[in-house]
Chains A and B, each alone.
Chain A
Amino acid sequence: MATALKLKELYKKEDRLTPGHRLCAGCAAPIIVRQILTAIDEPVVLANATGCLEVSTTIYPYTAWDVPWIHTAFETAASTISGVETMYRSLVKQGKIEDRGIKFVAFGGDGGTYDIGIQALSGMMERGHKALYVCYNNEAYMNTGIQRSGATPLGAWTTTSPVGRVIPGKPRPRKDLTAIAAAHDIPYAAQAAPHKWRDLMKKVRKAVAANGASFMNVLSSCNRGWRHETDQTIEVTRLAVETCYWPLYEVEDGEWKLTYRPKEKLPIEEFLKPQGRFRHLFSEENKHIIGQLQTGVDRKWRKLLERCGEEE
């Protein structure tokens, strides 16, 4: 019997990512990781791309991981977990080790997933390794000091898409990696956010039960890069979902399904306002970019509703 997704049951489970790591106050990444690892009752083996989560949890001779964990390089979480998972299948098939029902999970930030690691991720999904790849997506290269990635939204300030006299932040919109993953015809792909923890945990359970590769894209606020107060981590991801900037949905065996629909779709400004990375957009000369962002969100939302068979 799986542990019920109730706080009074879940809190009894031992932490697999233990206290003492050096991630920043208010970072969403460890919240997400703990939600994911708490959702899984089976033994796990993890791979981690280079990034904040990796450097902050394993400063030698310490480790915050109470489960087997491997990091090789930036772009290799998917290829490394492919090797680990394949060895497990091989040894179990040959009877060299017992089948313990191990679940394999890879973690990468958006830099390691949307950009430098997308080839390895695509390979892992196409080959059908029985592993869950989780992108904890904070929409920029935060570990190296807030540089733009393929996940950075239109207009956002980063240190490599600075707000200058002629260019006001990132000139291009982000790519839709969840749809790219779903286009691989994997059995399970989903978007999630940590404020909807039960939704996220349900998705994790479906993902690790899938007979093949699965992918989850989880919005992960970084207060250093997004420029908001450290106590606004959960609130800002809530606003991302309520504005439909970050819709919560899943694609199960090709079937698209909305897992949460805001009662009232908030204007994009509600998500932008608390974040310093968008402050310049509220000046008179840049206001049109907010309009472009809203148009982009509306278009993607309509398309998603259509894919999910929902009324507008």
Chain B
Amino acid sequence: MSRFEAMDGNAATAEAMRQINPDVVPAYPITPQTSTVQTFSQFVADGEVDTEFIRVESEHSAMAACIGASAAGGRVMTATSANGLALMWEMVYIAASNRTPIVMTVVNRALSGPINIHCDHSDSMGARDAGWIQLFGENPQEGYDNCIQAVRIAEHEDVLLPVMSMYDGFITSHGLERVQIEDDGAIKDFVGPFTAHEALLDVDHPVTYGPLDFYDFYMEHKRQQVEGMKHARRVILEVAADFEKRFGRHYGFFDGYRLDDAELALVVLSSTAGTARSVVDDLRSQGLKVGLLKPRVFRPFPAEELADALRDKAVVGVMDRSDSFGALGGPLFMELSAAFKIHDVPAKTVDYVFGLGGRDTTPDQIESVFRDLAGIAETGKIQQPVTYLGVRE
């Protein structure tokens, strides 16, 4: 039987890791991920898991050890944030290209500098081209559910790619909420046993991992990674369907809220979607036809599905919790704009960069975004393609 508990995002993630019971966890503490590592350390110390925990001396070594352990032939998980992910950078790419199905929780935090420990998405957005599947969760429940589904997605033989599961630093990682925790046995059944592919520890069948790969083969190997990502689109939905059948909670590429008949739509990731939902309700009660779309899967980017969901909207406002300096706007805006162009979506789009370094985003600000969108719908003119919300200019 499942149970309800008051848990923050990091406790829920540690609980998911306990139930998944990975063979090896190499991890290094960093705010705001730290309590996940601490809680999991206690599970290891109390013998509640079979996991061997490597208390590495850096995140770079954490990811290198993850790759070694995964290639050895077992289930591997880790967690990090911000500068930790940045230090891993080199190995993050190597993990994907070695097709090691590692699951990593990334508790989103602003990248230095200046140093800042609070939430934005600059860390995982910077890793969006590394070859990892990326899932964004809104609250502790989604952090828990995504972490569990990530194992099945990563290890699927048509995918074999690592997965990052994200949620917002402090807001979600340290925010206590009601979380439905499933039965240990049910999670064990859901994730199933690990199937090793080309295991290093199979000494009777020696394999070479990470050879020198020049212009005569490198491109084919990159192309195979693309293929894995393509398969991931199907597998993410299959895993979500099985998850819903067993546990009753629905997941897909994204989640719409009062979206179907909306004329003005807001697209925003993670915890801010919660605030936006209450703003949608307020404005609906005033007669404005507004709606919300919260993407869950950023890689592979579900371009066609997002285009279809937003095709008939007059104006789509994107809220980006990270910037891409010198580009046309934030990463979510750029991807969505490209999807609209490729899939002939006529809706006008504008970008709002918000919440950098943990700056609070109020319902008033989100309402001002919707009022802005209404103005664009009325005049047909975009005054400013990218707006910085709540910043002193």
Contacts and interface: CB of A to CB of B under 8 A. Distances in A.
**Do A and B interact with each other, yes or no?**
yes
B98 interface: yes
A89 B70 CA distance: 13
Q: Which of A60, A73, A79 has the most CB of B within 10 A?
A: A79
Interface string A86-98: 1111110110110
B212 interface: yes
Contacts of B213: 60
Interface residues of B, number: 44
Nearest to A63: B208
B206 A76 contact: no
A145 interface: no
Q: Output the residue of B56, B62, B70, B206 with the most chain A CB within 10 A.
A: B206
A67 interface: yes
- B contact face: mostly helix, strand, loop, or mixed: mixed
Contact of A79 (B23, B50, B51, B68): B68
A119 B217 CA distance: 33
A58 B212 CA distance: 6
A75 B60 contact: yes
B255 interface: no
B176 to A, nearest CB: 33
Contact of A68 (B23, B91, B206): B206
Interface string A160-174: 000000000000000
A83 B73 contact: no
A81 interface: yes
B306 interface: no
Interface residues of A, number: 47
A90 B61 CA distance: 19
A91 B21 CA distance: 12
Contacts of A142: none
Contacts of A9: none
B67 interface: yes
Interface stretch (B32-40, B163-171, B197-205): B197-205
B72 interface: yes
Residue in B26, B64, B206 with the greatest tally of chain A CB atoms within 10 Å: B64
Contacts of B51: 90
A89 B208 contact: no
Given A69-B207, A80-B68, A82-B54, 12 more contacts: A45-B201, A73-B94, A78-B61, A83-B24, A83-B54, A84-B68, A87-B23, A87-B69, A87-B73, A88-B201, A90-B52, A123-B61
20 contacts: A43-B203, A44-B203, A45-B200, A45-B201, A65-B208, A68-B208, A71-B210, A79-B60, A79-B62, A80-B64, A80-B67, A82-B65, A86-B26, A86-B65, A87-B24, A90-B23, A90-B24, A120-B58, A123-B61, A127-B54
Interface of B: 23-24, 26, 50-52, 54-58, 60-62, 64-74, 76, 90-91, 94, 98, 200-203, 206-214, 217
